């Protein structure tokens, strides 16, 4: 089965139809290349809870700071929040 490509669209913010600001952050290409899949981004306590759940399901887990390198200037509010969040990456044990 072919592995899906990592999310490669440019990091950007957009306003959705609801008026909510939506930020799209790239997956870490180096982690992806070694088999890690980004599951989601969360505040540290929730990330730790979910990491434990993934471990119980037999996954290896990495919690990484969110990379904000390409975040646009208009995303300053998002940056303040994302600086405190962690990205949860998983892969099957032994891979």
Report the domain count for the chain. 1
The pLDDT of residue 71 = 66
- Is residue 84 one of the residues assigned to a domain? yes
The pLDDT of residue 9 = 45
- Is residue 7 one of the residues assigned to a domain? no
pTM: 0.71
Do 43 and 79 touch, CB atoms closer than 8 A?
no
Picking from 65, 61, 63, the residue whose alpha carbon sits closest to that of residue 82 is: 65
- Is residue 76 one of the residues assigned to a domain? yes
- Is residue 1 one of the residues assigned to a domain? no
φ, ψ dihedrals at 49, nearest 5°: -60, -45
Would you tell me how many other CB atoms lie within 10 Å of the CB of residue 61? 20
Could you list the mean pLDDT of each consecutive 10-residue stretch along the chain, which spans 95 residues?
Answer: 52 55 74 94 95 97 84 70 89 83
The pLDDT of residue 6 = 54
The pLDDT of residue 44 = 95
Picking from 9, 7, 14, 8, the residue whose alpha carbon sits closest to that of residue 75 is: 14
- Give the domain extent around 30: 12-92
């Amino acid at each position: 089965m072919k592995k899906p490509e990592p999310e490669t669209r440019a990091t950007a913010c957009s306003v959705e139809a609801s008026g909510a600001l939506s930020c799209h952050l790239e997956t870490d290409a180096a982690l992806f290349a070694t088999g890690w899949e980004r599951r989601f981004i969360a505040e540290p306590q929730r990330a730790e809870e979910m990491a434990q759940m993934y471990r119980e399901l037999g996954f290896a887990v990495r919690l990484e700071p969110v990379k904000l390198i390409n975040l646009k200037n208009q995303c300053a509010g998002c940056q303040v929040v994302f600086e405190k969040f962690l990205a949860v990456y998983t892969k099957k044990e032994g891979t």
